[in-house]
Structure 1
Amino acid sequence: MRPDPGTGSAVVTVVAGGNPPTPAEIARLPANPVIVAADAGLNHALAAGLTVAVAVGDMDSVATEALSAAERAGTRIEHHPMDKDRTDLELALELATRLADRVIVIGGGGGRLDHLIGNLVVLASPTWAGVAIEAWQDGARALVVRGQRTLEVEPGATVSLFALGGPARVTTTGLIWPLDNEVLEPLTSRGVSNRATTSCPTVSVTEGVILAVMP
């Protein structure tokens, strides 16, 4: 099972489009974060005062002033055609997961429902199964769980577990309705609105993949 990333792990932050990240989310980022911006995420990153290492996407939603400022600052621009098979976030994740063993996606909530669903589903792609990925969106956190992960929540916090791509065999600790080596099926609501009974409950997955959402 993949352990939680240690304090020495490389971390890359992907700033997505949609709603901009909140000041609280920016403040929680690791010190001197390595930033990859996905298309309109470049607007959000520069507005938050972040230094962007790479901007990737078709750039159709990037303000002209933001693109010029990024180029002047030395940001690498990876420009893709508008007619493509992958979203800008997927392109950014492909880059970020080559650079780090932990990726934090901020922004990306709000806006179009299809974009929101696509952004969450792509997080669990087997392409980056070796990387610990989480998303912070609209005040909520979503963690992809393969192996074991600790959830940084306090007692009483809501935790929802969703199996993605097929059934998942799950064991939990510190939740009011535990799972003990049980199969959580996709396309059901069984894992919705569980609750933490202790700080830092754990979720262990021995088969499949889980998205743990903490609103």
Structure 2
Amino acid sequence: MKTTIVASNSPITVVGGGQVGPDDLKDALQLAPMCVAVDGGANLAVAQGVEIAALVGDFDSVTSETLSRIPSARQFKLAEQETTDFDKALRSVAAPLIVAVGFSGGRVDHQLAALSSLARHPHQRCLLIAGTQLIFLAPPNITLPTRAGDVVSVYPLAAVRGQSRGLEWPLDGLELSPLGRLGTSNRATGALTLSMDRPAALLMVPRDLMQQVAQALLRPDAAGWPALAE
């Protein structure tokens, strides 16, 4: 069940307890100054002096010291174990854009679960910072200012079709599938225009395009997919 805990008309940063690069949280907060912590991500946020608007999760990896520094009114314990803490956060936040850090690196199963959560919540525009890459669910239509030679991957989570302009190997007429043809390690020939027929493809682009990608996701022509039925 979806219950909105934090709502904002501006982008929100969601920080998790996975591996976080030295500039990840700072870069995210420059785009999305309000911070929601997911479980152990609160330890990092508090250590860096970041004000936490809300803490969600099962709290199994939050230290007692961290909890003592977050007002109880901002603590939302969601104890059910059927979904991940990142999934809980995506259910709990309403914002035009979510910038997520601390959900890549470390355990591969955690990374895969985070990527699946992007597809489970297709109505959310969520930009995941993952090392040198940005990962997000490809919206129905998007235009990005990629540069010639930029590595662009379109990874299918299910059978999906799309059309593209600005890729060395176009997607037109192809079906991508996790058990068939993949769209990884493509290259941009310039600005990229992409359209997909369903919310089942992850788009991966260079991290240094973060500001431009965020702006593109916020444009009306990049409107997200409808929410999945409960």
User: Is 138-147 or 27-36 further displaced after alignment?
Assistant: 27-36
Q: Distance in 2 between matches of 1:15 and 1:152?
A: 27
Distance 1:91 1:29 in 2: 20
Unaligned runs of 5+ in 2: 1-8, 207-230
> For 1:212, which of 180, 185, 203 is the aligned residue?
203
1:135 equivalent to 2:128? Answer: yes
SS of residue matched to 2:183: coil
Identical pairs, percent: 33
Structure 2 CA distance for partners of 1:174 and 1:47, relative to 1, 3 Å: farther
Structure 2 residue matching 1:104: 3-state secondary structure: strand
Flag structure 1 segments of 5+ consecutive residues without an equivalent: 1-8
Helix, strand or coil: the match of 2:69?
helix
Among residues 71, 90, 93, which one is paired with 1:93 in the alignment? Answer: 90
Which TM-score applies when normalising by structure 2?
0.77
| 2:74 corresponds to 1:76 | yes
Q: Is the 8 A contact 2:54 2:76 kept in 1?
A: yes
- Is residue 146 from structure 1 mapped to residue 139 from structure 2 by the alignment? yes
For the aligned residues, what is the CA RMSD? 2.3
Q: Residue by residue, what CA displacement relative to the aligned partner does 1:60-97 show, whole Å, maximum 9, x if unpaired? A: 111222111122xx76001132x62111111111111x
User: Matched residues in 1 for 2:167 and 2:141: separation?
Assistant: 15
* AA partner of residue 69 (structure 1): R
For 2:114 and 2:73, the matched residues in 1 are separated by 24
Quickly say closer, same or farther: Cα 1:68–1:86, change in 2 above 3 A. same
Q: 1:32 to 1:106 in 2, by over 3 A?
A: closer
Secondary structure at 1:160 match in 2: strand
> In the comparison of the two structures, how many residue pairs are matched?
199
Distance 1:189 1:181 in 2: 12
Match of 1:10 in 2: 10
Once superposed, which parts of structure 1, at least 4 consecutive aligned residues long, lie more than 6 Å away?
Answer: none
Q: Quick one: which amino acid aligns to residue 15 of structure 2?
A: V
